[in-house]
């Protein structure tokens, strides 16, 4: 039951994040990257605070005791990731960003091993490779040879920074205090808003600040409600239910959903390689999940004779 719930909310998480990538590309020329980052968290916090006020007051002793950690998490996963991704989209192609974003699960697995000695199984790694192949097929429009021709520029480097930021955010969620989810998301959103101020100030000082027009405000509203609030809550809950390594693999669905949303919103045609790529990603997730369930069930089987004696 917990696993099925985790799958459902993680699918919605990646759907909304796929929309975030499309929104970031649509935002170019309508709102500058750091202005979008600041405004989305300002609006998200305005929505959250009335809902979170009571649980936040109740949880304040725990929040206060863990405030440095919570502020760091908000800065990493909310501000640095989004600011880097939106900035990357002004320098590099959506193909590059899609491929690089698919590296988040591997970053999670590597950081989990380096920091906490959490090992991934061979099947989990195989599932990741299968999913990454599907993502690469989508990003290369069915011709994997295109990947060898991609240029590495400042946008690609910014996206790799985003990947590392979100990977570190994900593995550090294990230290999050046991507080109400509304308290968690409100504090992280407030931290993200504060952390975005230096970026916004730099953008203004450099003359690159672009305030939103009508389309820009629509993008701000979307990113505030769906990727900022609902996706973050769902991803936190998914991590709690099935762990970071297993939850992180679902991030490979983000480019797939981004492609589908691009078809619906931008009028692109659905082609055979899109269907093949989606099948590969889902098969990779199933393979890694099967391995994860076996690994989780093994200790229970080993304890069963002792518990029954």
The confidence score (pLDDT) of residue 79 equals 94
Query: Do 244 and 112 touch, CB atoms closer than 8 A?
Result: yes
Confidence of residue 266 (pLDDT cuts 50, 70, 90): low
Instruction: Choose the weakest-confidence range: 5-9, 26-30, 115-119, 266-270.
Output: 266-270
pLDDT tens readout for residues 156-178: 788 889 989 999 998 998 899 98
Buried b / exposed e across 261-282, counting CB within 10 Å, b at 16+?
Answer: bbeeeeeeeeeebbeebbebbb
Q: What is the pLDDT of residues 6-26, one digit of tens each?
A: 888 999 998 998 888 888 888
Q: What share of the chain is helix, strand, coil (3-state, %, to 5)?
A: 85, 0, 15
Question: Which pLDDT band, with edges at 50, 70 and 90, does 38 fall under?
Answer: very high
Predicted model pTM: 0.77
151 pLDDT higher than 60: no
Helical segments of 66-121, H only: 67-73, 81-88, 94-101, 104-116
- Whole-number pLDDT of residue 155: 80
* pLDDT value of residue 69: 95
pLDDT band with cut points at 50, 70 and 90 for residue 135? confident
What's the rounded Cα separation, in Å, for the pair 13 and 121? 24
Q: Is the pLDDT of residue 291 over 90?
A: no
**pLDDT the model gives residue 287:** 79
Q: Band the pLDDT of 125: cuts 50, 70, 90.
A: confident
Round the CA-based radius of gyration of the chain to a whole number and report it: 20
The percent of residues in the chain predicted with pLDDT above 90, rounded, is 37
pLDDT at 181 exceeding the cut of 70: yes
């Amino acid at each position: 039951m917990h696993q099925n719930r985790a799958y459902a909310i993680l699918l919605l998480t990646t759907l909304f994040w796929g929309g975030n990538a499309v929104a970031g590309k649509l935002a170019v020329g309508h709102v500058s990257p750091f202005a979008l980052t600041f405004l989305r968290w300002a609006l998200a916090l305005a929505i959250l605070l009335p809902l979170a006020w009571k649980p936040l007051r109740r949880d304040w002793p725990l929040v206060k005791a863990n405030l440095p950690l919570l502020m760091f998490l908000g800065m990493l996963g909310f501000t640095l990731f989004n600011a880097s991704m939106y900035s990357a989209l002004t320098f590099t192609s959506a193909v590059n960003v899609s491929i690089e974003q698919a590296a988040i699960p591997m970053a999670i697995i590597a950081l989990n091993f380096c920091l906490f000695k959490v090992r991934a199984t061979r099947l989990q790694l195989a599932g990741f490779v299968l999913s990454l192949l599907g993502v690469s097929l989508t990003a290369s429009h069915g011709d994997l040879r295109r990947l060898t021709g991609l240029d590495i520029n400042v946008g690609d480097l910014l996206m790799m920074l985003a990947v590392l930021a979100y990977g570190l955010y994900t593995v550090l969620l294990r230290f999050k205090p046991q507080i109400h989810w509304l308290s968690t998301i409100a504090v992280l959103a407030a931290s993200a808003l504060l952390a975005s101020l230096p970026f916004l100030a730099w953008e203004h000082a450099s003359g690159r600040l672009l305030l939103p027009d009508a389309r820009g405000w629509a993008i701000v509203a979307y990113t505030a409600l769906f990727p900022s609030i609902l996706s973050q809550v769902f991803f936190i809950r998914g991590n709690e239910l099935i762990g970071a390594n297993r939850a992180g693999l679902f991030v490979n669905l983000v480019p797939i959903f981004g492609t589908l949303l691009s078809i619906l919103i931008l009028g692109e045609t659905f082609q055979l390689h899109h269907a093949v790529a989606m099948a590969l990603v889902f098969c990779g997730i199933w393979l890694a999940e099967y391995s994860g369930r076996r690994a989780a069930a093994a200790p229970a089987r080993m304890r069963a004779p002792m518990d029954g004696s």
